[in-house]
Structure 1
């Protein structure tokens, strides 16, 4: 039985313990094996069962994974995807071997990806020394996620379509901040309710804009370390905490805007290292947005099966939305 918090602490009660990093919630999920799941503990058997019953209406399915080799050249200087097709002659058989950076395309960030930089600590106080103590330590990796999979109710906040309707010019490859007010307006227009344990999907339009670039444009963007995303603020962080999302996802390289609107509220350390909330980036949300619009509803059943190996820092999501 996953230990659910009896009462969610108020945001102004964070951190939960003296000496812990700002806004952290270490210990919220107890000290048992489930504690490493962080906010994925919201995805109880009862919640998943309810999501299946209430969200699967048409049976339409859409993969949310971009091609591993889409970003060429790779973003942020990461390693390039490579494939070697092996002819097993004299047998008429082929194998293939691929190498890639697990954050080179659609990805989950694990809880060992980004630490509180000043405190130098990951989720639940894990340090770099803990992670690098041996070649194959599993602490804060993805195996606990892979063992049970991610499944539950997803909700798409289609900011890209909202911006188009309202004549907002989105600058996808620079620091275009999506404010909390923007998000709340989209939620109101879409008429969607947010429930505890939801997986939040924020469509910025980044992937669609990238696909329209020519070769020169893709080469330029590969070296740009700015992008559109959720704007940082105290109000935004408090809203994320109160909504009790199991995970948050977007189609941009970092979920949150870069450079940050307010550095104090940089979300990577707070979500990953503070709350144990998985961050999904560069998900393919365009076809999903079309299906949601056609069906007139913005929630769906969502599944994901990350790669299963010891000490994974990140993984392609292997994600599917079912309407």
Structure 2
């Protein structure tokens, strides 16, 4: 995609989602009515995590893994009285391995945040607009999983492959489901399965993800949240001069929060076995004041 074509797509999507203003962005379309209706998706009551374990080992896709440090442990305690094992964690929230949510202040494009908010609202001390704190009450709604490797008859998409708007529509038809207004859309490219079976690689250089035109599908259906098992963006980028076009379109133009590096290897087999690809979903980011994102453990409830 040329830079001019991307700019035209950006303007088209921003215009189509002009309703997604304010601190919560597109999530304003997720009304209590939508949440109550989504609760009807619960049938068996089975819960499934959509998050991967936090990565604490250095690798080609985790040069800055989370640091887990024991503060107190059994060897420091004598045999008398009460003692507590204690530990601490430190994490690069926006890395290429750990499941996380991107707040709308994460993407700065042409000097602004989503909705034209000035980028100077993000400082060395944190952000003062569009932060993860806007999601303090959590996100709950109807989740829909579209499994693109299943559609193509492969275990995973290879790094560099794109998911188009046509792919999303075809996956809907193949799975007998439909994405609608207020839905949380999850798109599987098989990143986690490939990593488990082939080993980690330098995902910043090569990974499967959505083509920028896939965002037209989201705008048409009024999707309020997008989650993927990789970064959502393909690498190398499909757009001249824009490294993360899906992040720019989803978050900056449309106000759609992103969930990166989830895992669907537990959920997808259950959906296939039950022949239904929608479920109730709860996403609860941490309350981190002034933060641009949060580690997250979304839960699907079938």
- TM bucket normalised to smaller: 0.7 to 0.9
Q: CA, structure 1 residues 309+162, in 2 after alignment: closer, same or farther (shift >3 Å)?
A: same
Displacement, 1:76? 6.5
Q: After superposition, where does 1:125-140 map in structure 2 within 5 Å?
A: 125-132=116-123, 135-140=125-130
| CA RMSD, Structure 1 to Structure 2 (Å) | 2.5
- Asked if 2 retains the 8 angstrom alpha-carbon contact of 1:74 and 1:80, the reply is no
Cα distance, 1:238 vs. partner?
2.4
2:34 corresponds to which residue? 47
Partner-residue secondary structure (3-state), 2:104: coil
Cα separation, 1, equivalents of 2:250 and 2:226:
9
Deviation at 1:14, TM superposition (A): 7.7
1:318 Cα deviation from its structure 2 partner:
2.1
Q: 2:189 aligns with which of 196, 204, 209?
A: 204
Counterpart among 286, 292, 300 of residue 307 in structure 1: 286
Matched, 1:319 2:298: yes
Equivalent residue in structure 2 for 1:115, among 102, 108, 117 = 108
1:199-240 alpha-carbon deviations (Å, 9 max, x no partner): 1110000011101134xxx3xx1364221011223xx33222
Is the Cα contact below 8 Å between 1:111 and 1:313 reproduced in 2?
Answer: yes
Whether contact under 8 Å (1:232, 1:257) holds in the other structure is: no
Task: Tell me how far 1:29 sits from its aligned partner.
Answer: 4.7
Partner of 2:205: 225
Structure 2 distance, partners of 1:170, 1:194, is 22
TM-score calculated relative to the size of structure 2:
0.86
2-side partners of 1:70 and 1:257: how far apart?
Answer: 25
- Alignment CA distance shift 1:223-1:58 (3 Å): closer
Q: Which of 86, 92, 96 is equivalent to 1:95?
A: 86
Shift of 1:284: 1.2
Work out the CA distance in 2 between the residues paired with 1:60 and 1:80. 31
The yes-or-no answer on 1:73 pairing with 2:55 is: no
Classify 1:56/1:84 alpha carbon distance in 2 versus 1 (closer, same or farther; 3 Å).
Answer: same
Cα distance change, pair 261–13 in 1 and its aligned pair in 2 (3 A): closer
Tell me if the contact between 2:20 and 2:255 (Cα under 8 Å) persists in the aligned partners. no
CA positional deviation for 1:136: 4.3
Residue-by-residue CA offset, 1:252-285 (whole Å, 9 max, x unaligned): 1x21322233447922112111221001111111
Residues 1:285 and 2:264 aligned together: yes
Q: Distance in 1 between matches of 2:233 and 2:181?
A: 21
Per the alignment, residue 194 of structure 1 pairs with 179
Quick one: structure 1 residues 227 and 202, their matched pair in 2 at CA, closer, same or farther if it must change by over 3 Å? same
Report the Cα offset of residue 169 of structure 1. Answer: 7.3
Instruction: Give the superposition deviation at 1:124.
Output: 2.0
Partner of 2:148: 159
